[in-house]
Structure 1
Amino acid sequence: MPLPPEFHDIAKRVNNWGRWGDADEAGTLNLITDDVVRAAAATIQSGRRVPLALPLKQDGVQTGTIPGRVNPLHTMTFINLEMFGPDTVATSDDAVTLGLQAGTHWDALAHVSHSGTLYNGRPAASITPHTRAAHGGIDRVGPLVSRGVLLDIARAHGTERLSDGHAITPDDLERAEEQQGVRVQAGDIVLVRTGWIQHYLAGDRGSYGNMPAPGLSLHTPEFFHARDAAAVATDTLGLEVLPPEIDSLWLPVHALHLVEMGLLQGQNWNLEGLSEACAAEGRYAFFLTATPEPFTGGTGAPVAPVAVL
């Protein structure tokens, strides 16, 4: 089914192709300037550090719904091996096989294409088994630190967890800003909390991994574009509302973010501790470090983000 006119209308309004030059592969990360980073560092007051990653383990967040996106298979390659002879120093090593989007992760700009194109008009055919993502791979992200902003949608709605299939609108995002006394500005990394990851943390992987699920609506990319956000991440498996708002239009927010805007996006972020910390300190902006593992040509990568309040 061709992408509908509504999608193309939004795509035209949020498109960033050529904004930072025809060769650009960083997209909205260009908005994180030295001045933005200095201002982000100035938000640190208490020094409280809040980890935002899920543990990487074999019984992880993936449910098998997406082919190849396997939880980590962790094995020991040797244990207490005295490589240099008896009674010498012994070492232990291990190895892991995992989907790069297995746990808390960033999606690279090359993760999604539509109509045969990637961000900035690059051909989707440039992704091959040998070159992997020749353009817009996760290795192009580089050091990623900026001001983080938590938009706690669940708390703004007076609940711990949004209901099944709740489509988060720009009005929801603005409502959270108003209640939390914060405003998204250029270069920010926006974290959107639904509370949905509580299913997984409670051991209910089925509810966390299945539809319906809350998430960003088709119109939220216009909010992020207007505010010049650098990246957005959520505490859900799919980032956007599922099932989709328009029948048979799957992953339109992915396509608008990654292809049209060049906006880095993340999933499976654990925002529960951050929600409590921000509420306790009465502020929702903080210093955020979130550099992905630089897999060359990867279409995504694990990340262990830390918010510093």
Structure 2
Amino acid sequence: MRWKKRPEGSNWGDFGPDDQLGRPNLIGPEQVLKGAREIRAGLTFTLSLPLDFPGESKLNVRRHPPVLRPTFRDGLPYVNFPFARNEAGATDVVSDDQVLLSLQYSTQWDSLAHVGARFDADGDGVAESVYYNGYRANVDIVGPMEYRVDENFAPHACGGEHSHADVLGIEHLAVKGMQGRGVLIDFTAHFGRECRTVGYDDLMRVIEADGVEVERGDMLVLRTGFAEMVLEMNRQPDEAVLSNHCSALDGRDERLLQWITGSGIAALAADNYAVERFPARPPAAPGDHPLLPLHHHCLFKLGLPLGELWYLRDLAAWLREHERSHFMLTAPPLRLPGAMGSPVTPVATV
């Protein structure tokens, strides 16, 4: 067993001692069929931004827009390449490219290897860097540096330049398929683009006002209007404007976190950056605490994947016009072993 003590309120071990999927385990045949029954009009909506949005690196200096380049052979770029150069009489003209892509730059899923925590999983009074279900940093999730706690987290080279999630990688969501019933909650319809930190009370009011039903195994999708503002800025995001507009969840609201646990949702996505308000408001009590409390609760404790920067305006308008909140959602990430996140092109079918 990798752990002797699990975090309070977590579900570590509930899906098995070696589980790497988390709450998407709740999406079974019943949930897929439930989603399929929401297909009545035969219409589809793409829920992804163009993957070169938001533009620049202002929202996260670590992440950069995709860069497309040709592939090469014998030093020559294979874009508009005539095969007649290699074989007389050939009529083929070939273009082939590659991309340098920050996997969480635009519309994305977080894998369960994205956010872990310093937590005493061994029960010996010493916190370790661990992830969902007790998987270990520098053992199961590896990178080029080890940050040693006994040296005030000083970095030490591990002998390589690559990173890899040997467990909890995004490929597990890809194999699962991430297909089932989606449920839209439209904060924009109620709060507009007001900068509002949404807690349990606001969430319940919107759910009641719109008659939204959330059931075990559903994938919950939140519209805040943020991605729509990003599109309007046309790859030149104004961080100051964006940070003072639109709704985001209050990751410090314990009642909200407990609702997420008790609701049985299998995944949570939003059209904003981070799903939760960041920076979060100060914790109620002093002491050690996560800076990303919703990520901590969902990814680390529950194994509940988070999606960010989804595009929801067109779907939301159609659902509201037809007095619906449910749809069929198909949203598999890239089947890229070892990745800690992935771009995704979700499709809603109604």
For 1:215 and 1:152, locate their aligned partners in 2 and report how far apart those are by CA, in whole Å: 12
Q: Alpha-carbon deviation of 1:65?
A: 4.5
For 2:241 and 2:331, locate their aligned partners in 1 and report how far apart those are by CA, in whole Å: 24
In structure 2, the residue matched to 1:278 is: 319
Q: Alpha-carbon deviation of 1:47?
A: 1.3
Residues 94-138 of structure 1, C-alpha deviations (whole Å, 9 max, x = no match): 211110001100000000010111001111222113561111110
Aligned 8 A contact 1:212 1:242 in 2 = no
Alignment of 1:135-284 (within 5 A): 135-141=167-173, 142=175, 143-157=177-191, 159=192, 161=193, 163-164=194-195, 166-203=196-233, 205-207=237-239, 211-212=243-244, 214-218=247-251, 219=253, 220-246=256-282, 249-284=290-325
Q: Alpha-carbon deviation of 1:74?
A: 1.5
SS in 2 for 1:12: coil
1:70 maps to 2:106? no
- How many equivalent residue pairs? 293
Change (3 A) 1:66 1:212: same
Q: Alpha-carbon deviation of 1:274?
A: 1.3
In structure 2, the residue matched to 1:90 is: 93
For 1:284 and 1:83, locate their aligned partners in 2 and report how far apart those are by CA, in whole Å: 52
Change (3 A) 1:258 1:208: farther
* Residue of structure 1 aligned with 2:49, choices 43, 54, 57: 54
Counterpart code for 1:72: P
Q: Alpha-carbon deviation of 1:17?
A: 0.5
Identity across matched positions, percent? 32
Q: Alpha-carbon deviation of 1:257?
A: 0.7
Q: Alpha-carbon deviation of 1:210?
A: 5.5
For 1:269 and 1:246, locate their aligned partners in 2 and report how far apart those are by CA, in whole Å: 27
SS in 1 for 2:203: helix
In structure 2, the residue matched to 1:22 is: 17
* Residue of structure 2 aligned with 1:101, choices 85, 104, 113: 104
Counterpart code for 1:121: G
Q: Alpha-carbon deviation of 1:12?
A: 2.0
Q: Alpha-carbon deviation of 1:208?
A: 7.6
When normalised by structure 2's length, the TM-score is: 0.79
Change (3 A) 1:208 1:236: farther
SS in 2 for 1:255: helix
For 2:133 and 2:267, locate their aligned partners in 1 and report how far apart those are by CA, in whole Å: 17
Of 222-231 and 105-114, more deviation after overlay is shown by 222-231
For 1:60 and 1:73, locate their aligned partners in 2 and report how far apart those are by CA, in whole Å: 14
Aligned 8 A contact 1:153 1:172 in 2 = no
Counterpart code for 2:323: G
SS in 1 for 2:95: strand
Q: Alpha-carbon deviation of 1:243?
A: 2.5
Aligned 8 A contact 1:106 1:302 in 2 = yes
Residues 169-215 of structure 1, C-alpha deviations (whole Å, 9 max, x = no match): 12222222222222111111100111122221111611488535631
In structure 2, the residue matched to 1:307 is: 348
Residues 11-59 of structure 1, C-alpha deviations (whole Å, 9 max, x = no match): 623x1111111110100000001111111101111111110001122x6
Q: CA RMSD in A?
A: 2.0
Residues 214-266 of structure 1, C-alpha deviations (whole Å, 9 max, x = no match): 31112333222111000001111121112211168521111111000100001
For 2:314 and 2:243, locate their aligned partners in 1 and report how far apart those are by CA, in whole Å: 25
Counterpart code for 1:215: A
In structure 1, the residue matched to 2:155 is: none
For 1:189 and 1:225, locate their aligned partners in 2 and report how far apart those are by CA, in whole Å: 13
For 1:295 and 1:64, locate their aligned partners in 2 and report how far apart those are by CA, in whole Å: 26
1:122 maps to 2:122? no
Change (3 A) 1:249 1:29: closer
**Which structure has the larger Rg over C-alpha atoms?**
2
For 1:35 and 1:296, locate their aligned partners in 2 and report how far apart those are by CA, in whole Å: 28
1:293 maps to 2:331? no
Change (3 A) 1:210 1:176: closer
Q: Which runs of 5+ in 1 are unaligned?
A: 1-10
